[in-house]
Amino acid sequence: MKYGYIRVSTKEQNIDRQLTAMYKEGIAKKQIYIDKMSGRDFNRVAYKRMIKRVKKGDEIVIKSIDRLGRNYDEILEQWRYLVREKEVDIRVIDLELLNTKSSFDNNITGRFISDLVLQILSYIAQVERENMLQRQKEGIIEAKKKGVQFGRPKKELPANFEDVYQQWNLNKLNTREAAQLLGVAKTTCYNWLILRKNQKSCTKY
């Protein structure tokens, strides 16, 4: 039996291109499983249903390797599980070298080559992830040099903060009442008050 697997990252994304590819492969609509969610892991409803259904000798068809997932470590683990434990074949339409069901002299050769190519792709993906993180770090460093601020901007203290602080410090107001007067959340107000109290304590010494 041949099954098709389709994945897009969001509900808004179009699946027509992948769906057309599955129909060209002769896969019936009822044999196609579709997930509209991120590919960061394999905790997906349609994918799990398909895996429960496939049996030894069946074939899973995907348009490209990134439709299976984005995490190449998990892809490798899932690939080995399907091919070696469940004895299911995998066909990647956009990359024939990854197909475990090949026209080689025997299926063992086909699976060996597909495993080898997958390992190479995994290595390339890992290097690219590391390069991307390095580029991000370098970009942040350069942006900071130019005065770019990262993170949520600090909320400025209201004009009446000092007066509210003095009343709070003299126990004339509790934190909830102070927060209402300052027009901020209780947690924000408490952090401001404690910070100011600590600052004033430090200036005594």
Active site amino acids? 9
Compute the half-sphere exposure of residue 53: CA atoms within 13 Å on the CB side of its CA: 17
Distance CA 57, CA 86 (A): 9
Q: Do 11 and 40 meet the contact criterion of CB atoms below 8 Å apart?
A: no
Place of tokens 């002769």: 26
Q: For strand 89-92 and strand 32-36, is the pairing parallel, antiparallel, or unpaired?
A: unpaired
Distance CA 154, CA 132 (A): 29
Place of tokens 């024939």: 96
Q: Do 11 and 35 meet the contact criterion of CB atoms below 8 Å apart?
A: no
Distance CA 198, CA 141 (A): 31
Torsional sign, CA 71, 125, 107, 58: positive
Give the type of residue at 119.
Q
Tokens (6 digits) for 12 = 């808004």
